[in-house]
Amino acid sequence: MKTVVARDGIIQTMDYPKPILKPNFVLIETMYSAISPGTEMSMQRRTGMEPIQLGYSAAGIVREIGPDVTHIQVGQKVACYGAPFVKHAGWLAVPKHLVAEVPEHVDIREAAFAGLGAIAIHALRQANIQFGERAVVIGLGILGQIIAQIGHAASYQMMACDLLSERCEKLKDAGIPDVFTSLEELEAAIPEEGVDTVLLCAGGDSSGLIDQALTWLRDRGRIVIVGDIKMQFERELMFAKEAEIIISRAGGPGRYDHNYEISGFDYPPGYVRWTEGRNVGEYVRLLADRRVSVGPVISSVLPVERAYEAYQLLEKMPDKTIGVLLDYGVSKGEKKW
């Protein structure tokens, strides 16, 4: 099966064996997988001669289910999340807790962003925003776009900023008016009392951004780090406001837990209400209820064989490229066994 890898800093498509179904797993024929630029391009830059498989967010059709899988049926369309199970590959064997059914009226291409959706939802949960509070999103790539839309759907007062005006316009088109193309414009619009939360979705050279975000916070506000930025900040700025700086780890509780992901043991909702799997399902619900819309920020859909070109678009044309999907040729649901 076609699988996207990074080797020696280069994106390639290689043939790998089809995965074997395990207990508590679901075997999925991939329709689309979504590229997560920050994570994957960072991995790409660090690779050596040993190929590293990329990707963690996809959607497709269930072809087989393992014993003890009861909430998913063969033939259903599903969204799925979580490396190393989910990747840019034609077939995926995914733990049952990381799979959510996609209703027929939901665009399967939007559902393929379920991994990013779960990460966005968990970041907002980590922010612990209350009704009526104000939050700022810095960085409007695909993850920042989804975070801002979901926060807006939850009736938080959302403000956002990106240096690329095209990305700002996309978010304005989604119904969020307070979007700015410079940190200076954003700062001028922040009310005197400050904001409750800043979610940092930026990457690359973001030195000084945490310190700047600390100046925007109200007393005892919080910063949630979602992007890949250096954790450097002035202690005095944090101390003066008794601010919190929080890391958002992937899609929620359960991530990297062998018992949850592989052995199939769920956390009781009374103790852990929102696991990574339930966050995936919640993203799909938001799509189904038309509370968020990812379609307008899907910039390119390319066949998996052209994966190299897809990553080149993200690197060379960031002003015109936000959401990128890889297509596996089963868009109409036909079997390609």
Contact 134, 196 (CB under 8 A): yes
Query: CA dihedral in degrees (38, 44, 47, 50; nearest 10)?
Result: 120
> What is the average per-residue pLDDT within 320-334?
84
Greatest alpha-carbon span in the chain: 61
- Tell me the domains of the chain and their CATH numbers: 2-113+253-327 (3.90.180.10), 126-247 (3.40.50.720)
- Percentage of the chain modeled with pLDDT above 70: 97
Three-class secondary structure of residue 168 per DSSP: helix
> What is the average per-residue pLDDT within 82-90?
97
The pair of three-digit structure tokens given for residue 167, joined into one six-digit string: 């990305």
> What is the average per-residue pLDDT within 193-222?
90
Cα separations in angstroms, 86 against 59, 215, 220, 337 = 9, 39, 38, 19
Return the pLDDT at 229: 81
Alpha carbon 59 to its chain centroid, in Å, reads 13
The pair of three-digit structure tokens given for residue 162, joined into one six-digit string: 């990106």
The pair of three-digit structure tokens given for residue 243, joined into one six-digit string: 């601010």
pLDDT band at 207 (very low <50, low <70, confident <90, very high): low
Whether pLDDT at 163 is above 80: yes
pLDDT band at 96 (very low <50, low <70, confident <90, very high): very high
Measuring CA to CA, which residue among 126, 146, 128, 147 is closest to residue 136? 147
Measuring CA to CA, which residue among 178, 184, 217 is closest to residue 199? 217
Q: Give the DSSP H or E segment for 8.
A: none
Distance, in Å, from the CA atom of 203 to the CA atom of 198, rounded to the nearest integer, reads: 15
Whether pLDDT at 334 is above 60: no
Whether pLDDT at 88 is above 70: yes
